[in-house]
Amino acid sequence: MTLSAAPALQLLDSRLEVSGGLKLSGELRVSGAKNSALVLMAACLLSRDTLRLRNVPPLTDITAMGEILAALGVQVTRQGDCIDLDGEHITQAAPPYELVNSLRASFFCIGPLLARMGTAQVPLPGGCQIGSRPVVEHVKGLKTLGAQVTIEHGVVTASVPGRSKRLRGGHIHLDCPSVGATETLMMAAALADGETVIDNAALEPEVIDLARLLNAMGGRVRGAGTPTIVINGVPTLHEADYAVIPDRIEAGTFLLAAAITRSSLTVGPVIPEHLGAVLTKLDEAGCRMVQEGTNLRISAESIQAFDLRTMPFPGFPTDLQAPFMSLLATANGTSVVVETIFENRLQHVAELQRMGASIRLQGNTACIEGVARLSGAPVRGTDLRASAAMVLAGLAADGVTTVRGLEFLDRGYANLEGKLNAVGARIRRLSDPA
């Protein structure tokens, strides 16, 4: 009997080849926010009706979330940037392990599943390249709402004791303003019996987007965007047709493409209050910006150094720390960057150093001395924002920069190279057998 060898897994060497030194001009369109769309998709589990979400970005994370919801029994229908999520028949309360492993945001299912079904079993999301990513606050809050929660063999099992199977309102104080914990507990509380108060809640725009969706579904959420959110539980939530906010992190990345190439670009839609700290830093760097309706026009000739420290919203967003460091690597003068949100989100420093950046790293602090020109080199993005930072650095470098780590990039940016090439960049996506 001959055993046919199993076909070898075809490893592909996917990469972007970025040609540096080109000026950009034109308009960059901003997609819907990944970090809002993912949690809004999970909210469909709270209702037996169909939830229609518009302006959903075409990202691999969104596809993965759709697969996880479908595995739970949700009918998922995608039409361009519109997704219909019919949660009438939830067939199980435990998303498959192999799917959950591919997407941390799948943990967003635990709150709505518990609220809807009275039970949920979701693998721990685990850490990633940027940090341990604990869910302690999520679990503590669910217990305050009356759930029994155990964590065994890497799986979080939650259930609501008693006949009603319904969570009860409670007073939750978060030890840290965790975005994911705030959103998880808002969804759990939406169907709970009574009033829930979340103190020290995250203030991010994506939290406000979720509150608006829950209210559009018949929920009673107030105070989103302030440190204290009050949710009065309702028996059921109904259908809604809702558009996701623009992606402030993608918008910031596009603004940086103009700044790092010393070009003028129009970026939109941009909601200025979502980018307050970012626009302040670009202004400090010497960029000129004019808001034209929902678009922001930016131009840059010379970039001055500036310091930045990542903080919870409305402070400077950690998701733009790496992309901004690429800009600072080419600025006039010395900058200090402090990463206070994640314990391991400075891995892009080594990659920028390969391109000739002058950076000294001490713990969570990087001291960057701007250089006249970066030099193109083979580099790798270690998380989705670091991958974007490498593309930006490549736009400004002499020669060609080869960027690997596209599996991260494609999670947060839809066709980044296509969008940048349309405004004058020269980026090729190559993929051949490794």
Among 200, 318, 401, 402, binds ligand EPZ (CB under 6 A): 318
Query: Do the Cβ atoms of 184 and 108 come closer than 8 Å?
Result: yes
Nearer to ligand EPZ, 70 or 124 (CB): 124
What is the smallest separation between the CB atom of 50 and ligand EPZ, expressed in angstroms? 23
Asked if 200 interacts with ligand EPZ (CB under 6 A), we say no
Among 254, 316, 342, 413, binds ligand EPZ (CB under 6 A): 342
Count of CA atoms in the C-beta half-sphere (13 A) of 356: 16
Query: Do the Cβ atoms of 343 and 364 come closer than 8 Å?
Result: yes
Piece in contact with ligand EPZ (CB under 6 A), picked from 154-162, 174-182, 211-219, 229-237: 174-182
Total binding residues for ligand EPZ by CB under 6 A? 23
Q: Which residues of 23-58 are buried (b: 16+ CB within 10 A; e: fewer)?
A: ebeeebebbbbbbbbbbbbbbbbbbebbbbbebbbe
Query: Is residue 218 classed as helix, strand or coil in its secondary structure?
Result: coil
From the number of C-beta atoms within 10 Å of its C-beta (0-12, 13-18, 19+), residue 246 rates as: buried
Return the closest-CA partner of residue 324 out of 336, 341, 312: 336
Name the residue whose CB lies closest to ligand EPZ: 180
Active-site residues, by number, are 128
Piece in contact with ligand EPZ (CB under 6 A), picked from 179-187, 259-267, 289-297, 397-405: 179-187
Asked if 181 interacts with ligand EPZ (CB under 6 A), we say yes
Site for ligand EPZ in 400-419 (CB under 6 A): 412
Query: Do the Cβ atoms of 163 and 146 come closer than 8 Å?
Result: no
What is the smallest separation between the CB atom of 178 and ligand EPZ, expressed in angstroms? 3
Piece in contact with ligand EPZ (CB under 6 A), picked from 14-22, 126-134, 152-160, 232-240: 126-134
Asked if 134 interacts with ligand EPZ (CB under 6 A), we say yes
What is the smallest separation between the CB atom of 2 and ligand EPZ, expressed in angstroms? 48
Piece in contact with ligand EPZ (CB under 6 A), picked from 82-90, 175-183, 215-223, 257-265: 175-183
Asked if 385 interacts with ligand EPZ (CB under 6 A), we say yes
Nearer to ligand EPZ, 223 or 286 (CB): 223
Piece in contact with ligand EPZ (CB under 6 A), picked from 84-92, 116-124, 131-139, 358-366: 131-139
Asked if 176 interacts with ligand EPZ (CB under 6 A), we say yes
**End-to-end C-alpha distance for the chain, whole angstroms:** 32
Nearer to ligand EPZ, 242 or 342 (CB): 342
Question: What are the two backbone dihedrals, phi and then psi, of residue 358, each rounded to the nearest 5 degrees?
Answer: -105, 95
Query: Is residue 193 classed as helix, strand or coil in its secondary structure?
Result: strand
Regarding beta strands 400-404 and 378-380, do their DSSP bridges make them parallel or antiparallel, or are they unpaired? Answer: parallel
Q: Which residues of 291-300 are buried (b: 16+ CB within 10 A; e: fewer)?
A: eeeebbbbbb
Q: What is the dihedral of CA 418, 205, 383, 407, to 10 degrees?
A: -40
Chain residues in the site for ligand EPZ (CB under 6 A): 35, 38, 105, 131, 133-138, 176, 178-181, 202, 318-319, 341-342, 384-385, 412
